[in-house]
Amino acid sequence: MNVNSSAENLRFDGKVVVVTGAGGGLGRAYALFFGSRGANVVVNDLGGSFKGEGNSTKAADVVVDEIEKAGGKAVANYDSVEFGDKIIETAVKTFGTVHILINNAGILRDIAFRNMKDDDWNLIMKVHVKGSYKCARAAWPIFRKQRYGRIINTASAAGLFGSFGQTNYAAAKLAMVGFSETLAKEGAKYNILCNAIAPIAASRMTETVMPPELLETLKPEWVVPLVAVLVHGSNEEESGGIFEVGGGHIAKLRWERSKGALLKTDSSLTPSALLKKWGDINDFSSCEYPNGPANFMELLELARGLGTNEQ
Ligand code: NAD
């Protein structure tokens, strides 16, 4: 990360940015920002309700209008993100390519797990997981060919930590983390960087569950600078990260592995042998921060032969 590029100077001239779900909330804030910084913006929005019902061209049109009135360049796209190839096609047909993809579109179908219907589950997976996949998949060959691509996937605290009544949404949002971590690895060679954010912002999604005084402190605009920094060309290395962002708070999260126990892999590896090591399994006092399965193999290599299954 080039820390010398001040945010005021971050421009996106000539860059083609696709923002999904850009008709309101966070997506609109991203789109307006990029439009004001010289980018060509594809404003995608299906224009339905926050539960994923209905559709309308208005949401995207209003934001395109706002960008153009402020002197920026934008085009509307009304497809559902599940048809991500059509959204990327709009970018290519209108502006020639795509450089930055902000997978932001989202809906909620909150319901206690005991009442969850297949439709509640499937629709959330379709919009968040399939939608992000389809957009990234369509942009990927273009990114590889031009050796330039930046992706933001939108996770959520619900996915990272769990949230009552949101099993469907939480599962989909944590999927965004694994998706991002893997795209970051596959894209590294081609200058394709991908990060996941878990935002918190006032929008129609949160206005019914948060008090007005709290919402006042959570303007979507305050999520924008992190996204801008991560997708800017001056970011050449920050990839595969998970960031929490909202209300002026920005932090990075990572995986933590406890000290753990290594048991001999013979008939002494029993539930009671494991229970005796429960303290070590839960001991985070000398933890590690793994970032891939390879580390786990190293861990086994290093520790092999050292395990003792005291009975
Ligand atoms: P929002 O409802 O204001 O915006 C979401 C937008 O996505 C809407 O304009 C909607 O029409 C659009 N959309 C929904 N389904 C679509 C589809 N199939 N295709 C295209 N567009 C579609 O909500 P927001 O709060 O701005 O949410 C933006 C993203 O941030 C979502 O992915 C959400 O899950 C995530 N998020 C938000 C918060 C928060 O505090 N607001 C917290 C965690 C995660």
**DSSP state string for 25-53:** HHHHHHHHHHHHTT-EEEEE-----TTS-
pLDDT at 56: 95
pLDDT of the residue at 208: 85
Question: What is the distance between the alpha carbons of residues 289 and 258, in angstroms, rounded to a whole number?
Answer: 9
- Whether ligand 1 lies within 6 angstroms of the CB of 44 is answered as yes
Residue recorded with tokens 């968040």: 128
Helices 25-36 and 58-69 sit at what angle, rounded to 10 degrees?
Answer: 30
169 is catalytic: yes
When pLDDT is averaged across residues 67-79 and rounded to a whole number, the result is 98
Average pLDDT value for the chain = 94
Structure confidence at residue 311 (pLDDT): 46
* pLDDT tens-digit series, residues 16-34: 999 999 999 999 999 999 9
Nearest CA to ligand 1 atom 40: 200
Q: What is the mean pLDDT of residues 107-111?
A: 97
Residue 242, pLDDT above cutoff 70: yes
Q: Yes or no: say if 201 and 220 are a contact pair by the CB < 8 Å rule.
A: yes
Which residue owns the Cα nearest ligand 1 atom 18?
Answer: 80
Q: Are strands 149-154 and 100-103 parallel, antiparallel or unpaired?
A: parallel
- The protein residue whose alpha carbon is closest to atom 44 in ligand 1 is 156
In the chain, the amino acid numbered 69 is K
- Which DSSP state fits 57? S
Tell me the pairing of strands 149-154 and 40-44.
unpaired
How far apart are the C-alpha atoms of 22 and 60, rounded to whole Å?
Answer: 7
Closest ligand 1 atom to residue 173 Cα is 34
Task: Name residue 19's amino acid.
Answer: V
Give the whole-angstrom CA distance, residue 187 versus residue 101.
14
Find the 28 Cα to ligand 1 centroid distance in Å.
10
List pLDDT tens digits, range 74-88. Answer: 999 999 999 999 999
Residues 6+ apart with CB under 8 A from 219: 29, 201, 202
Residue 95 has pLDDT above 60, yes or no: yes
Give me the phi and psi of 216, to 5 degrees please: -55, -30
Mutate to test the pocket of ligand 1, among 205, 207, 210, 253 (most ligand atoms within 8 A of CB): 205
